[in-house]
Chains A and B, each alone.
Chain A
Amino acid sequence: MLSAAIRNPEGPEIIVCCGSGGVGKTTVSAAIGLMGAMSGKKTIVLTIDPARRLADSLGLKDFNFDAQRVDLKRFSCSFDAPEPELYAMMLDAKRTFDGLLFRYSSDEIRKNILNNRYYQHLSNNMAGSHEYMAMENLYEIYSQGRYDLIVLDTPPSRRALDFLDSPQRLINLLGHRFFMNLFKPYIQVGKWGVRLLNIVASPVLRGVGKIVGGQTLADFAEFMKLWDDALFDGFGYRATAMKKLLSGHKTLFLAVSTPQRLPMKEALYLYERLTENHMPFGGFIINRVEWTDGKKGGKTERVDGNSGLEKIVLDAQLKEKMITAYRQIQKLAETDAASIASLIRQIGSRVSVLQIPMADGEVANVDDLKQITNYFS
């Protein structure tokens, strides 16, 4: 069970929450983080959610990109641990890339890279740059060894698959020797020692240049060269280490979904990819499940006829309206139960499926998050 894994001192040190957008991943991540902190682990929750939902529910009004301690004393609920330590941090792509540059490169090279138009575009917009960044931050924070538990709220699902592949993709993209060998025949040393790309020499380069423009190609070659000089060794080493860390026993992946058709499909897809890649999978968390009478699998009251209701003194029209409204919520509870049953049929009963009921109010603070942790066992 998830709660046991979170509480276990020998349990996972990294919990990664995956799933499509809008299913409440960040809220679930925050609740897991809270539970970790409550059981005495120094815990940090990392999120890339640009909506800053985590900040809102943790009461962090001035969210910045440094780790911030959540002030748990402000909240009325009681905690098992005497001094629970919960931190939260938002990740930012550009900042992470710049940080990498500062770590691995000399001043001169760094200046050139920062000025390169490709870099400016790439660090903010590269497909999967959020994933690289999430990985990079995760690894950085893990290596510092300052926390007992790290909870990572990932980018939405399809992107999260890039995230799984990202260490490998990083190595591939930055596989410098191979790449430079491709370019080498075409790079000349210009008059002032500037590397120039000789496009005329190759029909392929000429073709590519025709499509994207020769200047672009030259910028790109320049960027790759700089990138290469600056970062390759450090980066490649890290990427391999990350992959190893993620597939090891210190990590646990969770698939978060709602009972809706599409998020369920995504969660199932994720589960398949994770198991296929031999990543440690910790189960499904189905959020916002309608439970007719507020209890899991609670008996649905049949209101056909008027059994039990005839004694209630109430305007007949209003009584009818209430029954109509009740039937609607009952219908939703039934479709939700069917959706979860269908998931269990597909994955078998050995995989954990936890349900979190639809909240009647809003998840607004740590007390609400603590409520959610009740459903982790």
Chain B
Amino acid sequence: MFVLGKGGAGKTTATVALGMAARRMNKRTLLVEIGDSDALGGLCLNRTLSETPEKISLSLWGARVHPKSELEAYIRAHVGSGFIARKIIRSRLFSYLIDATPGLKEVMSLARIWRWEQAKNEQTGNRFDLIIVDAPATGHAMSLLRLPDQLIRMIRVGPIANQIRDLQRLLKNPQKTCLVLVTLPEELPVNEAMEFYSMAEDELEMPVALTLLNCVYPSFFTKNEINQIDFLKDGLEKNSVTPFSVILDAVLRLIRRRTIQQKYIDLIRAKTLGRMKEMPFYFTNDLTLDDIDALSHHLTHPAFISS
């Protein structure tokens, strides 16, 4: 499960919430973070995750994929002589080549995830029923997921080419891989989400299975109550600040924000093909794991974490 979305939409929160929902369904779940980011590690364990899966809590594991070390491990595995492997890794030619073919590093990350997935069929300690990847922001995630297709055009033969083909098969199998898009009920995130739906379907051939609409303001008031509140506003004296005017002002702002959000909720609901779920706004700038656990109850449904 790849969790994608624009920066700031709440991918990491959603990743953890999905993991917690899966845990409640007794699925052994691995949460994966890619590259230098330590958002996931910071949230779950207050530190950077290690590169081998480590337990976060019962049935919930976490790991970080570091492309460079993946690539080095890969070279060691594929070059017979350890001496030459070390020479290659250390050679500047190699680091130039890797820098200039950045896709190679990212595809190595995908390959790592693929190996964790494959390990499911083996009698090893690291078997996972579900792997949830906290993917980079949409633009970069698109290039990540597009990479196998692009690389196969550049690298046609050799062990890497074969591995890329295996990866392509895994990614494009809807029984195995799904995309979860996290977005916000605001103009640009919603527009981007709708653009992403068609890109995912046409370009990646990996349709979005679930859309999570994050930070949805609760509707505190009924329509009738909103009318009453509007009426109160008219009765208020201008320019006099009282405790009541402060409260009324804040309440009106909340109602206004919710009304704007509703416009985009309706818009995206009309356009989305897969499932959609709202995640409520928590009125804090620092969600705790308890908050996310509460959020995850919105996601506990077999359809979201299907077998």
Contacts and interface: CB of A to CB of B under 8 A. Distances in A.
A118 B154 CA distance: 8
A303 B257 contact: no
A215 B157 contact: yes
Contacts of A335: 283-286
Given A122-B100, A125-B102, A204-B87, A322 B229 contact: yes
Interface string A283-318: 000000000111000000101000111001011001
Given A326-B247, A335-B284, A336-B285, A258 B8 contact: yes
Contacts of B84: 203-204, 207
Given A208-B88, A262-B42, 5 more contacts: A173-B96, A173-B99, A207-B88, A211-B159, A335-B286
A213 B160 contact: yes
A260 B87 CA distance: 45
A139 interface: no
A251 interface: no
A261 B137 CA distance: 17
Given A204-B84, A204-B88, A216-B154, A339 B285 contact: yes
Contact of A126 (B85, B100, B221, B249): B100
Interface string B146-190: 000010011111111100000000000000000000000011110
Contacts of B105: 127
Contacts of A126: 100, 102
Interface stretch (A50-58, A60-68, A235-243): A50-58
B8 A263 contact: yes
Contacts of B7: 20-23, 156
B250 A307 contact: no
A204 B248 contact: no
A77 interface: no
A121 interface: yes
Chain B residues touching A, majority SS: helix
B270 interface: no
Given A21-B6, A301-B243, A360-B253, A332 B284 contact: yes
B274 interface: no
Contacts of B242: 308
Contacts of B9: 22
Contact of A329 (B36, B241, B253): B253
Given A208-B94, A210-B78, A263-B8, A121 B232 contact: no
Contacts of B53: none
Contact of B143 (A125, A260, A360): A125
Contacts of A147: none
Counting from the closest, the 6 A-B pairs by CB-CB distance are: A21-B7, A22-B8, A127-B102, A308-B243, A213-B158, A22-B7
Given A258-B285, A312-B244, A339-B285, A211 B8 contact: no
B102 A213 contact: no
A118 B249 contact: no
A165 to B, nearest CB: 12
A362 interface: yes
A207 B79 contact: yes
Interface of A: 20-23, 50-51, 53, 56, 117-118, 121-122, 125-127, 156, 158, 173, 179, 182-183, 203-205, 207-217, 219-220, 223-224, 258-263, 265, 292-294, 301, 303, 307-309, 312, 314-315, 318, 321-326, 328-332, 335-336, 339, 360-362
A21 B87 CA distance: 39
Nearest to A169: B99
B6 A158 contact: no
A159 to B, nearest CB: 8
B127 to A, nearest CB: 29
B199 to A, nearest CB: 11
Contacts of B283: 328-329, 331-332, 335
B156 A158 contact: no
B101 interface: yes
A211 B285 contact: no
Contacts of A294: 249, 253
A322 B248 contact: yes
A301 B93 contact: no
A23 B247 contact: no
Contact of B221 (A207, A301, A321): A321
Nearest to A209: B158
Given A207-B84, A220-B101, A20 B8 contact: yes
A94 to B, nearest CB: 13
Contacts of A301: 243, 246-247
9 contacts: A21-B137, A23-B8, A51-B188, A216-B155, A303-B247, A309-B247, A318-B225, A336-B285, A362-B187
Contacts of B158: 209-214
A123 B283 CA distance: 42
Contact of A262 (B39, B97, B100): B39
A24 to B, nearest CB: 9
B74 A211 contact: yes
A126 B242 CA distance: 58
Given A21-B7, A22-B6, A335-B286, A322 B101 contact: no
A82 B258 CA distance: 39
B104 A325 contact: no
Given A173-B96, A173-B100, A322-B251, A260 B243 contact: no
A309 B248 CA distance: 11
Contacts of A293: 241, 246, 249-250
B100 A211 contact: no
Given A121-B103, A293-B246, A308-B242, A211 B260 contact: no
